[in-house]
Structure 1
């Protein structure tokens, strides 16, 4: 059992997980500073949280940033940190969106309707098949997830593959009543494949990009060195 259920739904990709947590904590930060005149305490708390998130996810490039000891330097340090952080988050979103296009396809309305019709046929076959309720419900859940993707702007291949693999596996072990689903799945794959072939080449897999790091703070706004507090030397002693 996970001791921290609030993080159960984090994506496996560390960068995507970082963006999700950034957006969560940034929204909380904005709520806390609304109407406040002095927001330094909230800025320090937000910065400390983000540094902890980065360390927990193994995101590189945050070690150069530290919270200054001098209260008067909070605003200048935080302004630089916040600006660099927003740029870093935007870079992740743009880079990941390019990769997402490679593993998804834009379906026409006609294609979507044809796929929905094929899914209905598959569901009818599964309803009549001699299956345990647990297995049948699992297959229905995969179909529902796939159909939800079909109705999106871009349909992801991963949910289509998961649905297809599980149904094919069940059909291979079952009696002949489930054999027709293999042809229905093949037709779904054909529709998606033909639609993908029509997409421009920029939706093909881009070359691996070097992972970006959070820009280091400018020299003029670095926090005090070797004065205790949250300096880089003491980071290892601070439990985030």
Structure 2
């Protein structure tokens, strides 16, 4: 049992999880500062939260940032942090959207209709097969989830694969009445594969890229105790 159910639905990808939590906490931050004249306390709280999120998800680059002890420095530090944070989030979104295109396919209306018909045939075979209700219902849920994915703008290959793996496992252990499912799954795979072949080359696999890091702070800032926080100059940061 998860002790923190509010994080149960976080994506497995740490960068995507970071973006989701950023959007959640940034919305809360924007609500708290609405109408406020002095927003330093809220800025510190938001910055501290995002640093904790980054550390928990092991996102590199955030260790270069620290909350200043001097209250007068908060606006300047937070402004730079907020800009770097927005830039990082945008880079993640653009990069992940490209990857999603690679591992998904756009199906036209005819292809979607054909796949729905094939899924209907698979469901009919499973309905008449000698299966435990628990297992049959589990397979029906996976088929329904895949059907919903088929109706999206782009259909993900990983969801189709997971659905097929579960069903093939049951078919291989079952009777001959389940064997026709293999051919139906093959036809679904062929429809998706042919549609992918028709897509432009830019939707094919891009060259691998190194994971992005949050840009480091742009300058050195010394707190009232004269202990400098790390602020290495980064000429590539456009602010």
Does the TM-score normalized on the shorter chain lie above 0.5? Answer: yes
Q: Distance in 2 between matches of 1:174 and 1:226?
A: 72
For residues 5-64 of structure 1, give each alpha carbon's deviation from its aligned partner in whole angstroms, at most 9, with x where no partner exists.
111111111111111111111111111111212111110000000001111111111122
| 1:224 paired residue number | 223
| 1:35 paired residue number | 35
Q: Report the 3-state secondary structure (helix = DSSP H, G, I; strand = E; otherwise coil) of the residue aligned with 1:194.
A: helix
For residues 117-148 of structure 1, give each alpha carbon's deviation from its aligned partner in whole angstroms, at most 9, with x where no partner exists.
11111111111111101100110111011111
| 1:211 paired residue number | 211
Q: Report the 3-state secondary structure (helix = DSSP H, G, I; strand = E; otherwise coil) of the residue aligned with 2:62.
A: coil
| 1:76 paired residue number | 76
Alignment of 1:137-176 (within 5 A): 137-176=137-176
Asked if the contact 2:18/2:54 (under 8 Å) is kept, the reply is yes
Asked if the contact 1:66/1:223 (under 8 Å) is kept, the reply is no
Find runs of 4+ consecutive structure 1 residues off by over 3 angstroms. Answer: 225-228
Asked if the contact 2:32/2:42 (under 8 Å) is kept, the reply is yes
Q: Distance in 1 between matches of 2:62 and 2:36?
A: 28
Alignment of 1:49-60 (within 5 A): 49-60=49-60
Shift of 1:113: 0.8
For residues 47-93 of structure 1, give each alpha carbon's deviation from its aligned partner in whole angstroms, at most 9, with x where no partner exists.
00000111111111112211111111111111111011000000011
Counting matched residue pairs gives 230
Q: Distance in 2 between matches of 1:83 and 1:134?
A: 51
Asked if the contact 1:69/1:227 (under 8 Å) is kept, the reply is no
What stretches of structure 2 of length at least 5 have no aligned partner?
Answer: 231-239
For residues 182-216 of structure 1, give each alpha carbon's deviation from its aligned partner in whole angstroms, at most 9, with x where no partner exists.
11111101100000000111111111112221111
Cα 1:76–1:129 change in 2 (3 A) is same
Cα 1:226–1:208 change in 2 (3 A) is farther
Asked if the contact 2:70/2:224 (under 8 Å) is kept, the reply is no
In the superposition, the TM-score normalised over structure 1's length comes to 0.91
Tell me which of the two structures has the higher relative contact order, counting C-alpha pairs closer than 8 angstroms and 6 or more residues apart: 1
Asked if the contact 1:73/1:223 (under 8 Å) is kept, the reply is no
- Cα RMSD of the aligned pairs, angstroms, is 1.6
Q: Distance in 2 between matches of 1:117 and 1:223?
A: 67
Shift of 1:226: 5.5
Asked if the contact 1:102/1:204 (under 8 Å) is kept, the reply is yes
Q: Report the 3-state secondary structure (helix = DSSP H, G, I; strand = E; otherwise coil) of the residue aligned with 1:63.
A: helix
Asked if the contact 2:88/2:214 (under 8 Å) is kept, the reply is yes
Q: Distance in 2 between matches of 1:140 and 1:65?
A: 49
